[in-house]
């Protein structure tokens, strides 16, 4: 589905990401973990075109999308959410999804102008269904900035879903959530997989990642240090070191 080949991103002298290779298979849930500053978010940003890589290629379904701007990456089928919440606060919940909605020409009755000026029934139904999926339907006419924190998080997911990507990069979706909300998020990610989506879950919350990811990749200091099924990765010596420090070093946690 997604192939990251020898990807590096340097900011001045800082090697945020260094020669990372990563394959994401279709319809899997891949966990991408690592300590703070290990380059997880940088990978998301480079892969989705926020900034170009220093070197390396990004392929999405055999298409080389290296350096494409974010809107083209999305059109090619890869969407993402942000680590901090980035919703359109001055728009209603409904409008947040409306602007993101994929404008597929084959579905639109009428021409370009009509597609931009009017809402056709099919798109309206789709938006309602996505709102339902993210339990935001009763909030649809609220201004997004007036939503509670958990709802804003759900809105960010709903918004990218409205664009109907096949592959989703979720950048720390559980940050700041309580146990019940995380449980809810877990169910939603599993439901996405059921619907045929591929999910890359960038997360700090180990329980969540280890619970639902089929494979986990671990980053440390911008390099991939391990990859494999959750159980194997948890037992990996280098991963333990990355998270807990050197054993010989006196147990610096």
Partner 1 sequence: MEFYLSLLTLFGFRILLGLSAYVVILTGQISLAQAGFYALGAYTAGAASSMWGWPIFPAILLGGLVGGLFGLLVGFPALRVHGLFLVIATLAFTEIVRMVFLNLKYTIRVGDRTIGPAAAEGFRGITYYFQNGWSSLQIVVFTWLFVLLVLLAFWLMDRSRAGAVLRAVGEDELAASSVGINLTAVKVAAMTAGGFVAGLAGALYAHYATYVSQEDFGVLLATFAIAYALIGGTGSVLGPIAGVLFFSLLIDGLRFLGDWRNLLFGVLIVAMMNLRPHGIIDVGLVRRVASLLRPAGGRAYAGD
Cα–Cα distance, 29 to 129 (Å, whole number): 23
Among 3, 88, 135, 234, binds partner 1 (CB under 8 A): 88
Interaction of residue 129 with partner 1, rule CB under 8 A = no
Angle at CA of residue 161, ends 82 and 142, nearest 5°: 80
Interaction of residue 48 with partner 1, rule CB under 8 A = yes
Nearer to partner 1, 117 or 179 (CB): 117
- For tokens 């940003």, what's the residue? 45
Report in angstroms how near the CB of residue 42 gets to partner 1 at its nearest. Answer: 14
- Using the contact rule CB under 8 A, the part of the chain among 159-167, 177-185, 213-221, 236-244 near partner 1 is 159-167
The sheet with strand 14-24 has its strands ordered as: 14-24, 2-11, 55-60, 63-64
Report in angstroms how near the CB of residue 71 gets to partner 1 at its nearest. Answer: 5
- Using the contact rule CB under 8 A, the part of the chain among 15-23, 30-38, 68-76, 189-197 near partner 1 is 68-76
CA distances from 211 to 109, 126, 154, 218, 229 (A): 43, 30, 20, 16, 11
- What residues pair up with 168 in beta bridges, in sequence order? 79, 199
Cα–Cα distance, 196 to 91 (Å, whole number): 30
Report in angstroms how near the CB of residue 177 gets to partner 1 at its nearest. Answer: 20
Residues lying near partner 1 in the complex (CB under 8 A) are found at: 48, 50, 69-71, 74-75, 79-80, 82, 86-92, 94-96, 98-100, 102, 115-119, 124, 127, 140-141, 143, 159-160, 162-163
């Amino acid at each position: 589905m997604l192939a990251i080949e020898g990807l590096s991103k340097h900011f001045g002298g800082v090697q945020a990401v260094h020669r990372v290779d990563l394959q994401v298979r279709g319809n899997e849930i891949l966990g991408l973990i690592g300590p703070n500053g290990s380059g997880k978010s940088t990978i998301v940003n480079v892969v989705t075109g926020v900034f170009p890589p220093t070197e390396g290629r990004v392929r999405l379904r055999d298409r080389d999308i290296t350096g494409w701007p974010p809107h083209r990456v999305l059109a090619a089928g890869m969407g993402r959410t942000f680590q901090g919440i980035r919703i359109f606060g001055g728009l209603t919940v409904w409008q947040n999804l409306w602007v993101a909605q994929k404008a597929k020409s084959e579905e639109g009755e009428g021409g370009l102008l009509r597609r931009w000026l009017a809402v056709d029934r099919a798109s309206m139904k789709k938006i309602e269904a996505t709102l339902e999926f993210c339990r935001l339907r009763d909030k649809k006419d609220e201004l997004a900035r007036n939503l509670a924190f958990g709802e804003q998080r759900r809105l960010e997911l709903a918004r990218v879903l409205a664009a109907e990507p096949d592959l989703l990069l979720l950048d720390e979706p559980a940050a700041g959530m309580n146990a019940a909300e995380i449980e809810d998020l877990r169910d939603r990610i599993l439901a996405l997989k059921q619907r045929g989506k591929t999910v890359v879950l960038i997360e700090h919350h180990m329980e969540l990642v280890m619970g639902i990811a089929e494979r986990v990749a671990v980053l440390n200091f911008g390099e991939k240090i391990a990859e494999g099924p959750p159980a194997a990765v948890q037992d990996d010596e280098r991963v333990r070191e990355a998270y807990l420090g050197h054993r010989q070093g006196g147990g610096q946690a």
